[in-house]
Amino acid sequence: MSVARVTMVGVNRVDRLLALVAELRAASPEPLTADALAGRLEVSGRTVRRDLELLIHGGLPVRSERGRGYALASGAPPPALSEVASLMGPVHDTLAEAVRTRRVVRLAYTDRSGGRSFRDVEAHGLVVAPYAEYLVGWCRMRDGPRMFRLDRIGAAYLSGRAAGMRDLDDLLAALRVPVPRPRAEAAPRGPAGAARARAWTLDRLDHVRGRLRESASQVRAGRAGTEGAEGAAALRGVLGHLAEWTRWQVAAVRAAATGGAPVYEGRRPDFPAEFEGDLPYDTRERMIQDAMALRSLGELARDLQEVLEAAGHWCADSDDVLWEGEFPEPSPSGVPGPARPLADLLAGWRGPLAHIEWHLDRLTDEPPSVPVVDGDEEGDEEEVWLTDRCPLQV
């Protein structure tokens, strides 16, 4: 199976070699022909052969099979973690060495949408979440702290450059990654995996609820985004959007996990009958905003907090077996996504908690410039800019 493709036009040689190794690793132990590699990397067969010769000369154990192509040879990597060994050995070992020696590591990284990029990352820690392991570091391309899921790193190259002195706890705090807490009972209710996943999800719930309270207080103090009435109006639009979509997301995840009907918590408005039908995102959002317009800012905040409080009670009381299984990801389009652990569905990057934080992070952004069409300004663009780019549309 091929890893995600990326156009190699304009990509430097180191990144091209990373992509080449990532393809060979993904196909291992099966070989790939030079033409197949060339097609995947969007370069010529001659370039692939030249790059393979360079890797082999540097010590990468690539075997050539007549008529079948090239494959990474099986067996242990060289004992010393040289630059070539970092390409050959397990990605985890390369990252662990980078963290241990505080070095910069070059990654071939594929995001969840399938796009691949090449990043220079100052490696500062490896963090195990309930559903995956992550490299935590300072991304030099983005000039900020980032987490990289290990199973999306196709290849890693250990450079000779030293990483800056940064504190792992500070990076985790900037990324808003809570430390899993133990349960209050002296003995766990179930397997350690279930207890840890539940505790991590409850920590995320507490953190997001705190951020909501902080955002509301900042608006009252005139410190969030634009001040006064404009800041309150922006928060009203966001809270109305979040209250209903979070209600739906939590209910859909619970239904997927239990096999029951969706249970909508909080204070759901009376929507028209067509609201439950198959509607485009923008139509549904307009209906949500119309229904929520009758509520005060405090009522919207309480509605969302009640949804999250109910989610917390359900998480605390749910069976351990649910936290050990995987369930299809609910989608607004009605087509379920791939199965994922319950903790990931609720507290992961595409879940309701991440959705809330995505919008809260943008409350302090500057609105985009109002587009001009045929000399006339589209005046309603500024009113919806905080919700019209919502990741749930995708």
Distance, in Å, from the CA atom of 23 to the CA atom of 2, rounded to the nearest integer, reads 6
Min mean pLDDT across 325-329, 331-335, 355-359 is at 331-335
- Which three-class secondary structure string do you get for 263-284? CCCCCCCCCCHHHHCCCCHHHH
- 44 Cβ neighbours under 8 A, 6+ residues apart: 38
**Strand-pair partners of 111:** none
Which of the two residues, 26 and 259, has the higher pLDDT score?
259
Tell me the three state secondary structure of residue 83. Answer: helix
Which of the two residues, 363 and 327, has the higher pLDDT score?
327
Which of the two residues, 178 and 19, has the higher pLDDT score?
19
pLDDT tier at 354, thresholds 50, 70, 90 = confident
Mean pLDDT of 239-247: 92
Report residue 328: phi and psi, to 5°. -65, 140
**pLDDT score of 230:** 63
For the sheet containing 153-162, what is the strand order? 144-149, 133-139, 116-128, 103-110, 153-162
Nearest to 194 by CA among 203, 186, 183, 204: 183
Mean pLDDT of 346-355: 86
**pLDDT score of 190:** 35
Domains, the chain, with CATH or none? 13-72 (1.10.10.10), 83-174 (2.30.30.520), 192-368+377-393 (1.20.120)
Share of the chain above pLDDT 70, in %: 73
Q: Is the dihedral of CA 282, 288, 294, 299 positive or negative?
A: negative
Q: Is the dihedral of CA 37, 41, 46, 47 positive or negative?
A: negative
**Strand-pair partners of 147:** 136
Contact between 144 and 124 under an 8 Å Cβ cutoff? The reply is no
Report residue 58: phi and psi, to 5°. -80, -5
Prior bond of 29 cis (ω within 30°) = yes
pLDDT tier at 78, thresholds 50, 70, 90 = very low
Contact between 98 and 104 under an 8 Å Cβ cutoff? The reply is yes
